[in-house]
Structure 1
Amino acid sequence: MEEITKVQRNYHGDIISFQTSGGRIISYQKAVLEAAEGILKGVEIHENEWGEYEIYSSDTANKGFDEYPTIF
């Protein structure tokens, strides 16, 4: 299983993609799908009030990936 190691954010600060421990760069939506399938470890997915799925770190101290380094 792979873990998320880095993030890429847009100019608004929203995460748009992730880098995995295997070196793959995947989109936010691909990460949500892989987390649901159990391919990614160390993350949780939750449905928000609009019915969209969001991905969070399982690390209780860093739910929003704030401490993760950037890809570029």
Structure 2
Amino acid sequence: METIEKVQRNHLGNIISFETSSGRIISYQKAIQEIENGLITDVSIQVNADGSERIDSVAGDDPDFNEFPPIF
């Protein structure tokens, strides 16, 4: 099992990719697939009011990954 260690945000502040504990950099959509398949832990998938999926961290008090370091 892997965990999310770092995030990459676009110019609007939205997360576009993650770095995992094994050093892989994966897109937001790939992360959703891997979370659904049980490959990434300490996160959950929430459904927004518009039906889009959102990844939340369940480790600690930072569900929006604001305290996670940037990838680059």
Shorter-chain TM band: over 0.9
RMSD: 0.8
Q: Measure the CA separation in 2 of the matches of 1:60 and 1:21.
A: 16
Counterpart in the other structure of 2:14? 14
Given the two structures, how large is their TM-score scaled by the length of structure 1?
A: 0.95
How many Å separate the matches in 2 of 1:60 and 1:67? Answer: 10
Percent of pairs with identical residues: 51
Q: How many residues align?
A: 72
Q: Higher strand share goes to which structure?
A: 1
Structure 1 consecutive aligned stretches of length 4 or more whose deviation exceeds 4 Å: none
Counterparts of 1:5 and 1:60, CA distance in 2? 13
Q: Which amino acid aligns with 1:30?
A: K
Question: What is the rounded CA distance, in whole Å, between the counterparts of 2:60 and 2:69 in structure 1?
Answer: 17
